[in-house]
């Protein structure tokens, strides 16, 4: 159960966003993917569920090539976008979380069960009928996570999940991620600010100009973060 990239290259015109990245993320790992703006983090994770195609190299999920097995990749890798509003396709919480399972063609009782479990996992149980546009930013983020969880992914990828959230909402999201990780889901968080995550992560990968420049445990990585424009915790 691994996300694996091998010499992955992605270009936008003449600019190289991902430059020969080889990386393996095992199941049950909690990985922080950090880097400055424009370092290629978002482009890299978009390859994990086939939202973009590589210009060179390979990407596979659970041993199967992503471009050749899109449905399997998108089922195995749940994606939460930087702006959760981008991924809302329905007007109410329950209908939106059900979107993914419906696309899998599951029977209605199973869809209802998954929606209920996913909302429970993000502390939003019983709020199926609430309107999306009436939720706070933190609640929208948690519904977006629930939408991905309802696919029962092996890996959950979150792109800048703390953007615009206040401290309590950030803590709530970190708590949920920690418990999901504890339950066996591998978590990949893309961020340029690792302060909330060092205590819970197993591994920190830093990208710079599309290349992996740090791949260490949090303790070993912390000294190298500032050099790559990643905000690290203040030292006592």
Partner 1 sequence: MLTYRPGDSLAHRLDPRTKLLVQAAFAVAAFAHTTPRGLAVFTVLTAGFLAAGRVSPVDSLRGFAPALPFVVLAPLVSVVTVSPPGVDLGAAVDPALASYRVLLVLLVSAVYLRTTPVRDSRAAVERLVPGKAGRFFGVGVALVFRFFPVLLADLRRVREASAARLGDQRSLRDRIRIVGTAGVRRAFARSDRLALALRARCFAWNPTLPDLRFSRRDYPVLAFGLLLVASVFV
Binding residues for partner 1, rule: CB under 8 A, are: 49, 51, 71, 74-75, 79, 81, 83, 85-89, 91, 99-100, 103-104, 133, 147-148, 151
**Which residue, 104 or 213, is less far from partner 1 as judged by CB?**
104
Query: What is the bridge-based pairing of β-strands 15-26 and 203-208?
Result: unpaired
Residue for token pair 């990949």 = 188
Question: Structure tokens of 191?
Answer: 């961020």
Q: How far is the CB of 3 from partner 1 (least distance, A)?
A: 15
Query: Is the Cβ–Cβ distance between 25 and 188 less than 8 Å?
Result: yes
**Which residue, 67 or 233, is less far from partner 1 as judged by CB?**
67
Q: How far is the CB of 173 from partner 1 (least distance, A)?
A: 18
Q: How far is the CB of 157 from partner 1 (least distance, A)?
A: 9
Question: Structure tokens of 78?
Answer: 């749940």
Query: Is the Cβ–Cβ distance between 176 and 183 less than 8 Å?
Result: no
Q: How far is the CB of 95 from partner 1 (least distance, A)?
A: 11
Q: How far is the CB of 18 from partner 1 (least distance, A)?
A: 17
Burial 51-61 (b: 16+ CB within 10 A, else e): bbebeebebbb
**Which residue, 10 or 203, is less far from partner 1 as judged by CB?**
10
**Which residue, 186 or 208, is less far from partner 1 as judged by CB?**
186
d(CA 139, CA 142): 5
d(CA 18, CA 145): 26
Question: Structure tokens of 128?
Answer: 């199926």
**Which residue, 185 or 208, is less far from partner 1 as judged by CB?**
185
Q: How far is the CB of 145 from partner 1 (least distance, A)?
A: 12
Q: How far is the CB of 234 from partner 1 (least distance, A)?
A: 35
**Which residue, 42 or 191, is less far from partner 1 as judged by CB?**
42
**Which residue, 110 or 175, is less far from partner 1 as judged by CB?**
110
The candidate with the shortest Cα–Cα distance to 56, out of 106, 6, 14, is 6
Q: Please provide the DSSP assignment of 100-149 as one string.
A: HHHHTT--HHHHHHHHHHHHHHTT-TT-TTSBGGGS-HHHHHHHHHHHHH
């Amino acid at each position: 159960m691994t996300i694996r990239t091998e010499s992955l290259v992605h270009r936008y015109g003449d600019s190289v966003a991902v430059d020969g990245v080889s990386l393996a993320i095992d199941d049950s790992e909690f990985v922080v993917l950090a880097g400055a703006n424009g370092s290629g983090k978002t482009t890299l994770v978009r390859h994990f569920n086939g939202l973009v195609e590589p210009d060179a190299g390979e990407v596979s999920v659970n041993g199967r090539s992503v471009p050749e097995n899109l449905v399997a990749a998108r089922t195995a890798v749940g994606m939460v976008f930087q702006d959760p509003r981008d991924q809302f396709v329905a007007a109410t919480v329950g209908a939106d979380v059900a979107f993914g399972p419906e696309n899998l063609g599951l029977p209605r009782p199973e869809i209802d069960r998954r929606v209920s479990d996913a909302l429970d996992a993000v502390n939003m149980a019983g709020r199926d009928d609430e309107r999306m546009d009436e939720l706070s930013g933190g609640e929208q983020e948690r519904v977006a996570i629930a939408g991905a969880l309802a696919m029962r992914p092996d890996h959950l990828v979150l792109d800048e999940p703390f953007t615009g959230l206040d401290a309590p909402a950030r803590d709530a999201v970190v708590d949920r991620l920690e418990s999901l990780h504890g339950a066996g889901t591998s978590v990949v968080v893309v961020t340029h600010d690792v302060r909330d995550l060092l205590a819970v992560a197993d591994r920190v990968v830093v990208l710079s100009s599309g290349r992996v420049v740090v791949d260490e445990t949090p303790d070993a990585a912390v000294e190298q973060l500032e050099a790559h424009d990643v905000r690290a915790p203040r030292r006592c």
